[in-house]
Chain A
């Protein structure tokens, strides 16, 4: 019985969620939010969703937290005091009550006879080995049956990155102003260059290649265990972002130039969609990988899934590093204009 463990995780989740809402020190709230994400990853594991857990840990506790901290470094770390408002409380109570009412006719938690376990899903589970020969059913459904959704998901990543580049497009300007020393994503008000911290330098030098290696493993082992293009992309990106945090933006730019990342960002989506287009020319419908190999449908599917997962991995890596570049570059550009930082209201 997993009952008590889940209850304990839920208890911690409630506590951290309330803390995120309550804390007015936004740095602290961001850290607690990271804990919330990590706890939910734990909960997902308990609920057998290992792929979701992996992704949530990498994204929620990793990338999201880095982004929030980067933003706080560019804005204000403290929230103003504010009384409890009653209209939102009423709205929330109403919405919550409606949701609870809706659950009353739902099958109980874990009930194997629920409609969602009887329709569609069994065929995914049966087909995984016979039609695809891929043990990780989630990877399989993600890349094949619902491969079009995943193309959409990769496009969402592209869209967000294009948006961030447009909104925080000062990167070109920042380059000329020499942003080398001052970039540090999770900084205090006074930027402390991490490249003077010996421990951070040494451990990054050791860790980054290992993280990369792990990323490769996650990318190519996604068929057999938890993982896949998205998780691998986030892991790759985190190695590069770590490098950027410790050694500075200009050092990271020597490793990967923003221009190179932009091309990679586009290339990943093009590889994904291109794989789909290839099936059009082989008399299949869009994204039908079975036709990619005329001799064996299963081989064709393996090839297709390998290609689209590679596309996802490339786009996600480039997207995450680019987004980091633009947030961190913004800080570098800003700190060159001291007057700008003092332009407060009150």
Chain B
């Protein structure tokens, strides 16, 4: 029926990878948290795009429907509401750790933290 193909998924994967790169490659802890967020939001996009049905509408049943209505799949939406909550919970926790790290080390750059630790133990 649909010949839209798979490109939606591919773009979402590219977004995911931008996020993942930011997490694993950057030294700045706040930047890492932002990357983690990008990664998670992109995964949410992935689920939501799975749920889309061509010609469908939001899964809310109208009061008067004229003829049969096609709804997009509600289950991925339900799951992703949970995932968004998990995301903000992780962000809050990560950022409070960053605040604590900054207070003891005076920096939020991972390489400098490592240097300070090494200096202390030699």
Please list the residues of chain A having a beta carbon within 8 angstroms of any beta carbon in chain B.
3, 6, 10, 13-14, 17-18, 20-21, 26, 29-30, 33, 36-37, 40, 43-44, 47-52, 55-56, 59-60, 63-64, 67-68, 70-72, 74-76, 79-80, 82, 84-85, 88-89, 91-93, 95-96, 99-100, 103-104, 106, 108-114, 116-117, 120-121, 124-125, 128-129, 135-138, 141-142, 146, 149-150, 152-153, 156-157, 159-161, 163-164, 167-168, 224-226, 230, 323, 326-327, 330, 334, 340, 343-346
Pair B103/A68 contact, Cβ less than 8 Å: no
Q: Which residues of B contact A75 (CB under 8 A)?
A: 30, 98-99, 102, 108
Pair B6/A103 contact, Cβ less than 8 Å: yes
Pair A21/B96 contact, Cβ less than 8 Å: no
Which A residue's beta carbon lies closest to that of B41?
A40
Q: Which residues of B contact A142 (CB under 8 A)?
A: 78, 81
Pair B17/A21 contact, Cβ less than 8 Å: no
Interface size class on chain B is 35 or more
Please list the residues of chain B having a beta carbon within 8 angstroms of any beta carbon in chain A.
1-11, 13-22, 24-28, 30-31, 33-35, 37-38, 41, 44-45, 48-63, 70-82, 84-93, 95-100, 102-103, 105-109, 112, 116
- Complex formed: what's the CA distance from A100 to B53 in Å? 21
Supposing A85-B25, A345-B105 touch, asked if A71 and B38 sit within 8 A by C-beta, the answer is no
Which A residue's beta carbon lies closest to that of B22?
A21
Pair B95/A92 contact, Cβ less than 8 Å: no
- Complex formed: what's the CA distance from A96 to B15 in Å? 10
- Complex formed: what's the CA distance from A212 to B56 in Å? 33
- Complex formed: what's the CA distance from A31 to B66 in Å? 43
Q: Which residues of A contact B84 (CB under 8 A)?
A: 52, 55-56, 59-60
